Amino acid sequence: MTKQKAHPSLTNIGTAVLGLLFLQLLPFRSSFSQNDVGGQIRRLFERDSVTILITDSGLGGLSVCADLEAQFSKLRPFKKVRLIFVNALPDVTMTYNSMASKEEQARMFDKALGGFVQWYHPDAILIACNTLSAVYPETQFARSAAIPVVSIIDVGARMIAERVKATANASVLVFGTATTMSSGLYNQKLGMLGVPDTNIVTQSCRLLESEIQADPKSDLVGNLVEVYVGQAIEKIVKPPPGTLVVGLCCSHYGYSLDAFDRSLRQHAALKYELVNPNKGMVALFMNAAFKGKSAWTSISVEVASRVKFTPQEVSSIARSVGSTSQKTSQALKHYRLNENLFQIK
């Protein structure tokens, strides 16, 4: 089998075909009709103004905010857009991946979501974090949400399944955090979409998201990616007969896409393509947009957090998103530190 470089364009999948696919997201357990979340998003574009809240347990999902700002500026579907990126981390010593149980994770994320709604009154929430998306179905908020809530795991599973269906003899490799991988949600949702479990390999990447947040281009990140890619390839008994669809299923991983590409290219017998669910989350909105409805769109971007980011994190991630959206980069540099964003006890 000949070596084939990954196609970065696949991380920007936003075609009409995928737009139709994304508008039929998997349902949440909620009293609100989340099974029609795609329809609810379409209805948002009937308004003149909208407030969209994007959340993550770190800064990975800030790339979703940056892409939304850039795309809304081009498409002008509203007169006014307020984009708010809110970090859901309760404390620097209390990460979701380090919490003792799923119940503790759900309790904490529930408090965070409640706080976000009280502070910002969003029209939609995007959970641009695979870890938090794995936790979300267990929250009380999921059972009573009065607004559309989009899970990046739903989006990612749909993207991966679509690539599998489009490619003969394809198999799947999913990289993610310990919480995401242990939840089994990708296997479950891919199975519901027709991808057999025997065709799926998962790889947990401990601490990778933290190191990417510190510096996506660092040698340490490159070394960790190489280790985790090697461990994942060892789980594949023999080279897959077709393309290996590789899901970068932590929102941070897109910042280090080149490192994954380099590491995968070292395996000469492997034909693969990379899938970045962050791009799919943006495509969900872009394909529903009423393009050019407004002559000009006023867009504000805010970043808020209960905990402090390090200067290195701010500098590194601001630089990473700056080429896409200077507004998002500047919002991170001037983020609002709010210890009352939500209660943790």
Asked if 89 and 177 sit in the same domain, the reply is no
Which residue segment(s) compose the domain that 181 sits in? 8-12+153-280
**Are 255 and 317 spatial neighbours (Cβ–Cβ below 8 Å)?**
yes
In a domain, 103, yes or no: yes
Prediction pTM value: 0.89
Q: Between 62-75 and 326-333, two packed helices, what is the crossing angle to 10 degrees?
A: 140
Distance, in Å, from the CA atom of 143 to the CA atom of 137, rounded to the nearest integer, reads: 8
Give the pLDDT of residue 38.
78
Asked if 37 and 64 sit in the same domain, the reply is yes
In a domain, 3, yes or no: no
**Overall number of domains in the chain:** 2
Give the pLDDT of residue 3.
37
Asked if 98 and 147 sit in the same domain, the reply is yes
Helix, strand, or coil here: 274? Answer: strand
Give the pLDDT of residue 29.
36
Give the pLDDT of residue 106.
96
Asked if 121 and 182 sit in the same domain, the reply is no
Asked if 298 and 273 sit in the same domain, the reply is no
Residue 124: give its domain's CATH number: 3.40.50.1860
Distance, in Å, from the CA atom of 227 to the CA atom of 219, rounded to the nearest integer, reads: 12
Helix, strand, or coil here: 112? Answer: helix
Asked if 259 and 217 sit in the same domain, the reply is yes
Give the pLDDT of residue 217.
96
Asked if 135 and 225 sit in the same domain, the reply is no
Asked if 141 and 22 sit in the same domain, the reply is yes
In a domain, 1, yes or no: no
Distance, in Å, from the CA atom of 324 to the CA atom of 182, rounded to the nearest integer, reads: 33
Residue where a domain stops, chosen among 240, 256, 280:
280
Which tokens is 205 given? 């990447």
Helix, strand, or coil here: 246? Answer: strand
Asked if 135 and 157 sit in the same domain, the reply is no
Give the pLDDT of residue 35.
55
In a domain, 164, yes or no: yes
Give the pLDDT of residue 55.
98
Which tokens is 273 given? 């393509």
Distance, in Å, from the CA atom of 140 to the CA atom of 305, rounded to the nearest integer, reads: 22
Give the pLDDT of residue 31.
38
Q: For each successive 10 residues of the chain (345 residues), what is the average pLDDT?
A: 40 39 40 62 93 97 98 95 97 89 95 98 97 95 94 96 93 95 95 94 96 97 98 87 95 98 92 96 89 90 97 97 98 97 92
Asked if 298 and 195 sit in the same domain, the reply is no
Asked if 97 and 124 sit in the same domain, the reply is yes
Q: Residue 255 — φ and ψ, nearest 5°?
A: -65, -25
Sign of CA dihedral 319, 252, 289, 161: positive
In a domain, 203, yes or no: yes
In a domain, 342, yes or no: no
